[in-house]
Each structure stands twice: as C-alpha cells, then as structure tokens.
Structure 1
Amino acid sequence: MRNVQPEPETLTLDRIATPVGEVLLVTDKDGAVRALDFSDYEARMMRLLGRHAPDAQLVSGRAPEPVRKAVEAYFAGDAKALDGVIVKTNGTAFQKSVWAALRAIPAGETRSYGQLAAAVGSPKAVRATGLANGQNPIAVIVPCHRVIGANGTLTGYAGGLERKKWLLEHEGAAV
C-alpha cells in the first residue's frame, strides 16, 4: 500500500488597484479570502500566509468576481461591501476569536485594544489581543485598522498610519 500525499492547496493571487495603493487578494478554490494586504507589504503578507497555509502553492490569477467586486465596491465608497465576504484562516482559538471580534466592529466605528480584549472575554489580555490583531493575515476585510489607542490616537498599523487614517475616514469614523 502506497502512502499517497494530498495535493498541495492552490491559492490565487489577484492584484487590485485602490485609491491608497494596490492590494494583493489571495483566495482559495471555494472563493474564501485567505489573505489581503497592500502590495508594499507583500513580504509581510507572504510571511503570514506561510503560517496559515504552509503547503499552499500561489498562482497569479483573478479572484472570483463577487469577491473582487466587493473589494472594489469598498474602495469606491461602500463601507459595508466587505461584510459578507467569506474569510478562512488558521490560527489559535484566541487569534480566531480576536479576528471574529474585529469583523463585528461596524464600519465607521473604532474600538480600543482594551474594548477588543473585553469583547473576546479576556479583558486583561490587552497585549495578547494586540498581538493577535497584528497577526491578522486579512487586512481591511478583517478590519484591524478599526482598533485605536485607549486615548483615541491612531496606533500602529501594518499598512502604515496614513493608510489607517484614510481607511477610517473612508468609513466615516471620527479620526
């Protein structure tokens, strides 16, 4: 009896122009988004994607039209266009709970790291929540940009603070 290895997963990498730079959109065969980041942070995205889908093969191509249209609609002004997009990540149970809590923050609103920690049932785990936020492989759709400092300041964002400010203003948040 031969030991048959499963075929490596194939993921598709699409590139979409936006008002704040080209985004890299990675989808799987079912159309779920596996990663999204700005092209100037491609190395970071590839590093995170490697953790979430270590055996995957990445091929250039076009994302499924509904996903692509949702991303384009978001950047064209429909702040809720990404709400129904299906995402799929690997990660710890805690990371997944943080990422789910991020998706529950409505467009146009922000939360502090403390509020996010409380939302996942770990109010004392502010630092761990921040670390999970930073390991999010799906920018914008899993809206880590909606998390700000306790005093209301814009804090670190992997895509850069100017881009974070643009995204929040684009969604109608008071910045």
Structure 2
Amino acid sequence: MMGLLEERERAALARVEELRAELERVRAAVAEAEEAARRAAVAREEVVDALAAARDVPDAGAAEAVSGVASRVEVPRWHQGLDVAVLPGDCAAIVALVEDDAAGGGGGVRARRMREHLGWRASDAREQAARFRAKRLVERGWLSEEGPGLFRPRSGRAG
C-alpha cells in the first residue's frame, strides 16, 4: 500500500514539474504577444499622426506623406539662435514643458507627463510616442536624457 502511494506521489510531482515547464512556455509566449501588440499599437498611432500631419501640408506634400516618403516629422538640429518655433507642434510643446519644469526646479520630465501635457489619451502607445519624440529631440540637440526616460533641457541651450 505504501509503495502504491509513493508511486502516486512521484507521478503527481512529475506532473507538477511538466505543468510548471508548460506554464513558463505560456508566460513567455504571452509576454512576446504583448510586446508585439504594444509595438503594433505604437506603429498604428504613428501612422495616424503622420496621416494627420499630411492633411496639413500642400497637396503634393500630402501625397508624398501618405505614400510613406515623407512620413517622419522633421525636427531640425538645434544650433545657436534657433527658436522653438521651428519645431513641429508636439515637439515644441514637449520642449516648452521640459524647460518650464527645469525653470521651476523640477528633476526632469517623463513620457507620461508629456502625454498628459499634449492632451493625448492614456495608453502605453501614446506614452511610447511621446518618448519617441523626446528621444528625437535629444538626438537633434534640443533636450538631454539625464537617465533612462528622464528628459531635461540640454545644457548650453537657453530656453
């Protein structure tokens, strides 16, 4: 009788291990699917933004933007004497927010606050879009990224 119970226990423990391994595979697949969904949402919203921007340009430019040739919002490289007014609307608003934060003694601005400042609905995709714009502003010399996802005015650039 004891041998039979021990055998059942070993079989049950083996099944537990099999299920745990399967659970880990399922968790990894779920994480991969969530990441794919997040990336697709960001891409979709970027396309919507590009198409909305295309409606604001003359007809020839709109055709180019819709075809994907000019779908990126151009952010000029910062240089001495260049004003925030040359930036596209969302980018200018982000720079203004970051500069206001610094003037008030803030420690920097994160994507969530940018999204809220821009009046965008709450979603991971919209936060990613705000972060993407801020990183583009860093690349072009308008802002600096003090830590991962923490944006401040670039030193040497007066607001």
TM-score bracket, shorter-length normalisation: 0.3 to 0.5
- TM-score relative to the length of structure 1: 0.31
TM-score between the two structures when normalised by the length of structure 2: 0.33
Structure with bigger helix share is 2
Q: Give the number of the structure whose residues are more often strand, by fraction.
A: 1
Of structures 1 and 2, the larger Rg is shown by 2
